Amino acid sequence: MSVIHDIGYRRYQGPRLGRVSVLAALYVHGMRAAFGLGRTFKAKIFPWSVAGIMLVVGVVAAAVKFQTGLELLTYETFPDQMSMLLILFCAVVAPELVSRDLRSGVLPLYFSRPLSRADYPLAKLAAMITSAFAVMAVPMLIMFLTAAFSGDGMGAVWDEVKAFAPGLAYALLFALVYSSIALLVSSFVSRRAVAAGATVAVFLVTAPVVVVLTFATTTTGQQLAQLASPSTLVGGVGQWIFGRPEGMPEELGIGSFGPLYGAVTLGLIALCVSLLLARYRKVAS
Amino acid sequence: MRGPPRLRAVTLIATQSLTKVYGGRVTALSDLTLSVGPGVVGLVGANGAGKSTLIKLLLGLIPPSGGSLSVLGLDPTTQAADVRARVGYMPENDCLPPELSAAEFVTHLGRISGLPRTAARERASEALRHVGLYEERYRQIGGYSTGMKQRVKLAQALVHDPDLLLLDEPTNGLDPAGRDAMLNLIARIGSEFGISVVVCSHLLGEVERICNSLIAIDGGKLLRSAEISTMTTSTDVLAVEVSEGTDELGHRLAAAGLPPTREGRLLLVPLGSAPDAAYDTILAAVADLDLPLHRLEQRRHRVAELFAAREDA
């Protein structure tokens, strides 16, 4: 029957894959870590509860709209409303992706392999962005499918697509900004709890700054105030794309500074990514 | 596809006036010139002698401050990725994620080394089996003993079938039994697997029995580099320990043509050209004198002596 034979050491003659496959392997590993797959139940609790809450919100919004026609949340307001949950999600997942590796000293095992210094943070960042985007995009997709196929005809579907696509882009922008900040902060801290706290702090500490600045004397100053915090910054870009929400007083809006908000957002992402790359050029191996 | 037989008579590692200075002040290696052939190589030196620096240079993780080096005929400063694809590295420090199972972690690192998914999984379980981890490999590493963790560290260095293993203090933290098991495993990797190994250790006595050649460095300088065979041919000694009558036995052996040297409570008997006969002579002498024999073991005592002599000089 099944006897275990010691077949001795066998050499590997098969193919060795290139950079793209290695990056893909690291990316998939990161996605598994983000959602606690292949890990204990404890590691799954947080990411899945955040994802679950967002999903429930999306399903309820879709159901209410389907039943009553009342729009609780639109594709634009959903990412706005979920941004606090997204901060929490990033603050927990980013340390899972990078702080753990710092703490367990596993980096020398990566960098002693044919993996460039930039590949590691880029694969981790891609996993962070994907997972952050996914937790928002899935509920939005449910809202879209419900709305699109409860209307009549292809015209209704197309109208829905036109509303859905920018909303999805807006969610992606949230994911990009929050992920790059969270991953950068976590890459400097080896203790996960501290890294999570530091990430949340970046968002929380800057929020009151915005409030203080809105008391600025000039309207221009007030309209620029929202540049000061990552969450209001992305919100500002949202106003630029979708227009000022109804009922929002003008001094709380961004005025005509939309392009500036867009540029600052892109600049912030670029800054975080280059600092992240610099961090891993230097990290001890 | 990769090249033919691995134990070619090529130079495994060669350095020429290799120097590494950290931050313009701390000299970790200075003017190191050496050449090592395939086999199991011991890299010995005290803590801080420059062993880990040399390993990092060999892997292309840090650039040299001066001089040149080659690993498996490749230059790590310009072909780091090619070198790393063919080298397996086991660091000295803890480097394992406690939340993963050994099987998943070693598979993952196999993929980072470029193995396709299925091959990585197969080779990971083979590597773990070779180092002596079976069903435990599906448990989280966090629950492993030090000995098991050292085995996982070795397995991840083997998973991509390297031509050269760089092992930094592989016996760190192991108890004597675990240490012997690890050393035997490394010896097997060198002989049966046909993979060249560089073993770093601060304990000469530990690595000398499994190595074909030794490099001793101290304060960043080469003390000595040599094949063990050239150092130990006909210099094997037997260490004999009896709990009483040591002098008596010494006289008896001297009379029998095996003049021993005294080292503490031990008698060191050179085996000469006829080791079997020497064994018999010693056993007969112990039996004749009816002495309680404590220990009788073969030693390559001379290696340590050779290094010690150099150090004193």
CATH code, B260: 3.30.70.980
List the one residue out of B30, B18, B26, B21 whose CA is nearest residue B75: B18
User: What are the pLDDT digits (tens) for B21-78?
Assistant: 998 888 899 999 988 889 999 998 888 888 989 999 999 988 999 999 999 999 999 9
Q: Answer for the pair B114, B160: CB distance below 8 angstroms, yes or no.
A: yes
What is the tally of structural domains in chain B?
2
- Tell me, yes or no, whether A113 lies in a domain: yes
Band the pLDDT of A220: cuts 50, 70, 90.
confident
* Confidence (pLDDT) at B234: 43
The larger pLDDT score, comparing residue B227 to residue A226, is at: A226
Say which range, A130-144, A234-248, B246-260, B264-278, has the weakest mean pLDDT.
Answer: B264-278
Question: Are residues B215 and B107 part of one domain?
Answer: yes
> Residue A177 pLDDT > 90, yes or no?
yes
- Tell me, yes or no, whether A11 lies in a domain: no
Q: Interface pTM (ipTM) of the complex?
A: 0.88
* Confidence (pLDDT) at A85: 95
User: Where is the domain boundary, B180, B199, B228?
Assistant: B228
Rounded to whole angstroms, the Cα distance separating A238 from B100 reads 40
Question: Are residues B242 and B221 part of one domain?
Answer: no
Question: Are residues B308 and B159 part of one domain?
Answer: no
Cβ of A15 within 8 Å of Cβ of B116? The answer is: yes
What is the tally of structural domains in chain A?
1
Question: Are residues B133 and B59 part of one domain?
Answer: yes
* Confidence (pLDDT) at A152: 74
- A257-279 exposure pattern, b = at least 16 Cβ within 10 A, e = fewer: bbebbbebbeebbeebbeebbeb
Q: SS3 helix, strand, coil % of chain A, rounded to 5?
A: 75, 0, 25
Q: Answer for the pair B236, B275: CB distance below 8 angstroms, yes or no.
A: yes
Question: Are residues B78 and B207 part of one domain?
Answer: yes
* Confidence (pLDDT) at B231: 56
CATH number at residue B145: 3.40.50.300
Regions of chain B with pLDDT less than 50: 1-8, 233-234, 301, 309-313
Q: Answer for the pair B272, B231: CB distance below 8 angstroms, yes or no.
A: no
Rounded to whole angstroms, the Cα distance separating A39 from A47 reads 12
- Tell me, yes or no, whether B269 lies in a domain: yes
> Residue A5 pLDDT > 60, yes or no?
no
List the one residue out of B227, B225, B217 whose CA is nearest residue B52: B217
Q: Is A37 an interface residue toward B (CB < 8 Å)?
A: no
Q: How far is residue A61 CA from its own chain's centroid?
A: 22
DSSP A139-192: HHHHHHHHHHHHSSHHHHHHHHHHHHHHHHHHHHHHHHHHHHHHHHHHTT--SH
List the one residue out of B154, B94, B85 whose CA is nearest residue B124: B154
- Tell me, yes or no, whether A111 lies in a domain: yes
DSSP B15-29: EEEEEEEETTTEEEE
Cβ of B114 within 8 Å of Cβ of A21? The answer is: yes
* Confidence (pLDDT) at A183: 97
Cβ of A39 within 8 Å of Cβ of B112? The answer is: no
- Tell me, yes or no, whether B7 lies in a domain: no
Average pLDDT over every residue of A50-66: 94
Q: For residue B269, give its domain range.
A: 233-312
Cβ of A25 within 8 Å of Cβ of B108? The answer is: yes
Question: Are residues B253 and B159 part of one domain?
Answer: no
- Tell me, yes or no, whether A266 lies in a domain: yes
Instruction: Please name the member of B56, B111, B161 whose beta carbon is closest to the beta carbon of A25.
Output: B111
Band the pLDDT of A250: cuts 50, 70, 90.
low
Q: Is A115 an interface residue toward B (CB < 8 Å)?
A: yes
Question: Are residues B253 and B171 part of one domain?
Answer: no
- Tell me, yes or no, whether A13 lies in a domain: no
Give the bridge partners for B221, in sequence order: B218
Helix (H, G, I), strand (E, B) or coil at B219: coil
Band the pLDDT of A242: cuts 50, 70, 90.
confident
User: Where is the domain boundary, B202, B228, B254?
Assistant: B228
Cβ of A113 within 8 Å of Cβ of B112? The answer is: yes
Question: Are residues B134 and B62 part of one domain?
Answer: yes
Cβ of A112 within 8 Å of Cβ of B59? The answer is: yes
Query: Which of A28, A109, A282 to probe by mutation at the B interface, max B CB count within 10 Å?
Result: A109
Question: Are residues B184 and B105 part of one domain?
Answer: yes
Q: Is A247 an interface residue toward B (CB < 8 Å)?
A: no
Which residue is listed with tokens 């997942």? A93
User: Where is the domain boundary, B228, B250, B265?
Assistant: B228
- Tell me, yes or no, whether A10 lies in a domain: no
User: What are the pLDDT digits (tens) for B283-300?
Assistant: 888 888 888 888 887 765
- Tell me, yes or no, whether A12 lies in a domain: no
* Confidence (pLDDT) at B246: 86
Radius of gyration of chain A (CA): 22
Distance from CA of A249 to the nearest CA of B (A): 50
Q: Which residues of B touch A101 (CB under 8 A)?
A: 97
- B209-226 exposure pattern, b = at least 16 Cβ within 10 A, e = fewer: bbbbbbbbbbebebbbbe
- Tell me, yes or no, whether B4 lies in a domain: no
* Confidence (pLDDT) at B4: 45
Q: Which residues of B touch A12 (CB under 8 A)?
A: 115, 119, 123, 160-161
* Confidence (pLDDT) at B8: 46
- Tell me, yes or no, whether B5 lies in a domain: no
Question: Are residues B284 and B206 part of one domain?
Answer: no
- Tell me, yes or no, whether A1 lies in a domain: no
Question: Are residues B237 and B220 part of one domain?
Answer: no
> Residue A201 pLDDT > 80, yes or no?
yes
Q: For residue A202, give its domain range.
A: 19-282
Question: Are residues B291 and B221 part of one domain?
Answer: no
Q: Which residues of B touch A10 (CB under 8 A)?
A: 126
- Tell me, yes or no, whether B2 lies in a domain: no
Q: How many beta-carbon contacts under 8 Å exist across A and B?
A: 101
